[in-house]
């Protein structure tokens, strides 16, 4: 277990105090280190850039997510797995709601912080997409499907997250995210593994597909694709 450096927390606290009372761009690194009572050099020891102090826990969360995805679990369904990985991010936000809401207000106002947040979110999305690419290896459009599903999961997660943040943490974050991710799973298939689909090929350039009405759409599409003989 790594011991928590109090200096790092002191810098975050000092930074947010100044950001909130005078604005992000109006606060210099020197202001922060002066308030924290440390040297300017020490700031950059803990945070590689000024933006990083606004997202002090994302590095750890990203490591958690990659560890979660790397830790096997290949018996689970891939889309559900990345949805669970996305829930890890929500959990981090939920651990410190007031801080998350303050940061949300900040990033909403400052374009530079919005841009930085995008690069953070992008790394999460890459982690999910890379995992799905591994699981989809061999499928015809494996990387395409992996990228699209990862983007959809992140978008759904962020939609719910932001709606929760806008409510000042009043509503239930987990419920909102579950609902949003449910939409993605319904679109890309949370297969109940059974999926009763029968395919018969007939002559004359015609394909007949017989499907149970409640079969997941993606499963039907998969069968049609192979029946049509697309690469």
Partner DNA sequence: CGCCAAGAGGGAACTGAGTCCCCTGAAGTC
Partner DNA sequence: GACTTCAGGGGACTCAGTTCCCTCTTGGCG
Complex with DNA: residue 2 or 202, whichever CB lies closer: 2
**32, 14 in Cβ contact below 8 A?**
yes
Binding mask 130-169 for a copy of itself (x = CB under 8 A): -----------x-xxx-xx-xxx-xxx-xxx---------
φ/ψ (deg, to 5) at 8: -60, -45
Complex with DNA: residue 27 or 158, whichever CB lies closer: 27
- The token pair that represents 117 in the structure block: 């947040």
d(CA 101, CA 37): 27
Minimal distance in Å, beta carbon 114 to DNA? 15
Listed ranges 1-9, 58-66, 88-96, 180-188: which one lies at the site for a copy of itself (CB under 8 A): 180-188
User: What is the SS3 assignment for 200?
Assistant: strand
d(CA 141, CA 132): 12
The residues binding DNA (CB under 7 A) are 5, 7, 27-30, 37-42, 44-45, 48-51
User: Is residue 118 a contact residue for a copy of itself (CB under 8 A)?
Assistant: yes
User: What is the SS3 assignment for 168?
Assistant: coil
Complex with a copy of itself: residue 69 or 184, whichever CB lies closer: 184
Minimal distance in Å, beta carbon 175 to DNA? 37
Minimal distance in Å, beta carbon 65 to a copy of itself? 18
User: Is residue 104 a contact residue for a copy of itself (CB under 8 A)?
Assistant: no
Listed ranges 36-44, 64-72, 100-108, 181-189: which one lies at the site for a copy of itself (CB under 8 A): 181-189
d(CA 193, CA 199): 17
Minimal distance in Å, beta carbon 117 to a copy of itself? 10
Complex with DNA: residue 15 or 86, whichever CB lies closer: 15
Contacts of 130 (CB under 8 A, 6+ apart): 146
List Cα–Cα distances, 149 to 20, 49, 61, 83, 133, in angstroms: 36, 31, 21, 10, 10
């Amino acid at each position: 277990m790594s011991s928590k450096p109090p200096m790092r927390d002191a810098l975050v606290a000092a930074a947010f105090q100044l950001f909130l009372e005078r604005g992000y761009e109006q606060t210099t690194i020197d202001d922060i280190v002066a308030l924290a009572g440390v040297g300017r050099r020490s700031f950059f020891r803990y945070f590689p850039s000024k933006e990083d102090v606004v997202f002090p826990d994302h590095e750890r969360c990203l490591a958690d997510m990659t560890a979660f995805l790397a830790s096997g679990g290949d018996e689970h369904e891939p889309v559900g797995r990345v949805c669970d990985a996305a829930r890890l991010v929500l959990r981090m936000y939920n651990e410190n709601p007031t801080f998350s809401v303050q940061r949300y207000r900040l990033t909403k106002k400052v374009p530079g912080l919005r841009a930085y947040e995008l690069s953070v979110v992008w790394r999460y999305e890459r982690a999910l997409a890379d995992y799905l690419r591994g699981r989809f290896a061999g499928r015809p459009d494996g990387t395409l499907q992996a990228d699209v599903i990862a983007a959809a999961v992140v978008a759904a997660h962020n939609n719910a997250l932001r709606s929760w943040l806008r409510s000042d943490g009043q509503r239930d974050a987990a419920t909102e995210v579950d609902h949003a991710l449910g939409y993605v799973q319904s679109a890309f298939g949370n297969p109940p593994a059974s999926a009763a689909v029968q395919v018969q090929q007939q002559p004359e350039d015609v394909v007949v597909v017989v499907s149970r009405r409640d079969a997941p759409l993606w499963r039907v599409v998969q069968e049609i694709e192979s029946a049509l003989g697309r690469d």
